[in-house]
A and B are shown apart, each in its own frame.
Chain A
Amino acid sequence: MGTEDNYQIAPLEMAIVLMSVIIGVGILTIPRGLTAAIDSPDGWISIAISGIIFMILIYLYVRLQQQYPGQSFFSYLEQGKLGKWMANLMLISFIVYFISLLAFEARVLAFVVKMYLLDRTPSEVLAAIILLTTTYAVTKGVQGVVHLSLMFLPITIFLVVILLIANLPNIEIERMLPVMGDGVMPVIQGVSEISLSFLGIEILIFWMMYMKKPDLRAFPLNIAIGFITLIYIATFIIVVSLLGVEGTQTITFPTVESVKEIEVPGAFFERLESLMITIWLMTIFNTMAIAELITLQIVTSTFRLTNKGLVLAIITFITFIIAFIPVSIAELFTFADWIGWLGVSLFCTSIMVGYLTVWFRKQKRNSQMPRGM
Chain B
Amino acid sequence: MYKKLLKKLNADKVRKSNNVELEVSPVLDDMITSIKNIVGESDDVVQRDFLIGRKIKASLFYIDGLADENGIESKVIKPLIYFSNDGVENLEGDAFLDFLEQQVTNFIELSVETTYDDAILPLMSGETLLVIDGIPKFILFETRQFNQRSIEEPESEIVVRGPRDGFNEVLHTNVMLLRRRIRDPNLTVQFGHLGRRSKRDFALVYLKGVTNEELVEEMRYRIACIDIDDVAETGDLEQFVEDNVLSPFPQLLRTERPDKTSAQLLNGKVVVIIDGTPFVMIAPLTFEEYFKSPEDNYDRWQIGTFVRILRYVGAFIAMFLPALYIAMVSYHQGMIPTTLALSIAGSREGVPFPAFIEALLMEFTIELLREAGVRLPRPVGQTIGIVGGLVIGDAAVRAGIVSPIMVIVVALTAIASFALPAYNISITFRMLRFGVMIAAALFGLFGIVISYILINIHLVGLRSFGSYYTSPFAPYEFSNWLDLVLRAPISLQKTRKAEPSKLDTKRQV
Contact B476 A133 (CB under 8 A): no
CB contact list, A138-187 vs B, under 8 A: 139-140, 143-144, 146-148, 150-152
Residue in B444, B445, B457 whose CB lies within 8 Å of A137: B457
Contact B334 A270 (CB under 8 A): yes
Whether A12 sits at the interface, judged by CB under 8 Å, is yes
A contact residues around B446 at 8 Å (CB)? 113, 117-118, 121, 126, 129, 278, 281
Contact A278 B449 (CB under 8 A): yes
Closest residue to A281 on the B side, CB-wise? B449
Contact A150 B450 (CB under 8 A): no
Chain A, residues 3-44, CB within 8 Å of chain B (1/0): the string is 000000010110000000000000000000000000000000
Residue in A117, A126, A151 whose CB lies within 8 Å of B460: A151
Whether A275 sits at the interface, judged by CB under 8 Å, is yes
Contact A151 B450 (CB under 8 A): no
Nearest-Cβ distance from residue A349 to partner chain B, whole angstroms: 33
Whether A1 sits at the interface, judged by CB under 8 Å, is yes
CB contact list, B330-372 vs A, under 8 A: 331-332, 334-338
Contact A118 B450 (CB under 8 A): no
Contact B466 A1 (CB under 8 A): yes
Instruction: State the CA gap A129–B445 with chains docked (Å).
Output: 13
Interface of A is mostly: helix
Give the most central of B446, B460, B461: most A CB within 10 Å: B446
Contact A151 B501 (CB under 8 A): no
Contact A270 B335 (CB under 8 A): yes
Whether A303 sits at the interface, judged by CB under 8 Å, is no
Instruction: State the CA gap A118–B332 with chains docked (Å).
Output: 8
Residue in B335, B338, B454, B456 whose CB lies within 8 Å of A151: B456
Contact A13 B476 (CB under 8 A): yes
Contact A117 B332 (CB under 8 A): yes
Contact A152 B332 (CB under 8 A): no
Chain B, residues 425-453, CB within 8 Å of chain A (1/0): the string is 00000000000000000011110111011
Contact B335 A147 (CB under 8 A): no
Instruction: State the CA gap A282–B449 with chains docked (Å).
Output: 8
A contact residues around B474 at 8 Å (CB)? 146-148, 150-151
Instruction: State the CA gap A133–B458 with chains docked (Å).
Output: 11
Instruction: State the CA gap A1–B465 with chains docked (Å).
Output: 9
Contact B331 A278 (CB under 8 A): no
Contact A151 B473 (CB under 8 A): yes
With A117-B331, A271-B332, A274-B332 as contacts: A133 and B454 at CB distance below 8 Å: yes
With A1-B501, A144-B460, A147-B470 as contacts: A278 and B448 at CB distance below 8 Å: yes
Whether B467 sits at the interface, judged by CB under 8 Å, is yes
Contact A269 B335 (CB under 8 A): yes
Whether A279 sits at the interface, judged by CB under 8 Å, is yes
Whether A285 sits at the interface, judged by CB under 8 Å, is yes
Contact A121 B336 (CB under 8 A): no
With A117-B331, A151-B473, A278-B446 as contacts: A2 and B454 at CB distance below 8 Å: no
A contact residues around B475 at 8 Å (CB)? 10, 13, 147, 150
A contact residues around B443 at 8 Å (CB)? 118, 121, 126, 129
B contact residues around A269 at 8 Å (CB)? 335, 337
CB contact list, A105-124 vs B, under 8 A: 113, 117-118, 121
Whether B463 sits at the interface, judged by CB under 8 Å, is yes
Whether B468 sits at the interface, judged by CB under 8 Å, is yes
Contact B450 A133 (CB under 8 A): yes
A contact residues around B468 at 8 Å (CB)? 2, 147
Whether A136 sits at the interface, judged by CB under 8 Å, is yes
Contact A147 B332 (CB under 8 A): no
Closest residue to B212 on the A side, CB-wise? A1
Contact B335 A271 (CB under 8 A): yes
Instruction: State the CA gap A146–B457 with chains docked (Å).
Output: 11
With A133-B450, A147-B468, A151-B456 as contacts: A12 and B336 at CB distance below 8 Å: no
Instruction: State the CA gap A139–B444 with chains docked (Å).
Output: 26
Give the most central of B214, B334, B337, B474: most A CB within 10 Å: B474
Residue in A121, A144, A151, A267 whose CB lies within 8 Å of B461: A144
B contact residues around A270 at 8 Å (CB)? 334-338
Instruction: State the CA gap A139–B454 with chains docked (Å).
Output: 12
A contact residues around B338 at 8 Å (CB)? 270
Closest residue to A125 on the B side, CB-wise? B443
Query: Which residues in A have some Cβ–Cβ distance to B below 8 Å?
Result: 1-2, 10, 12-13, 113, 117-118, 121, 126, 129-130, 133, 136-137, 139-140, 143-144, 146-148, 150-152, 267-271, 274-275, 277-279, 281-282, 285
Q: 14 A-B contacts, Cβ less than 8 Å apart?
A: A1-B501, A13-B476, A117-B332, A117-B444, A117-B445, A129-B443, A129-B450, A147-B468, A147-B470, A152-B453, A270-B337, A274-B445, A275-B335, A281-B449
Using A13-B476, A133-B450, A282-B453 as known contacts, list a sample of 6 further A-B pairs with CB atoms less than 8 Å apart, ordered by residue number in A: A1-B467, A118-B444, A151-B474, A274-B334, A277-B445, A281-B446
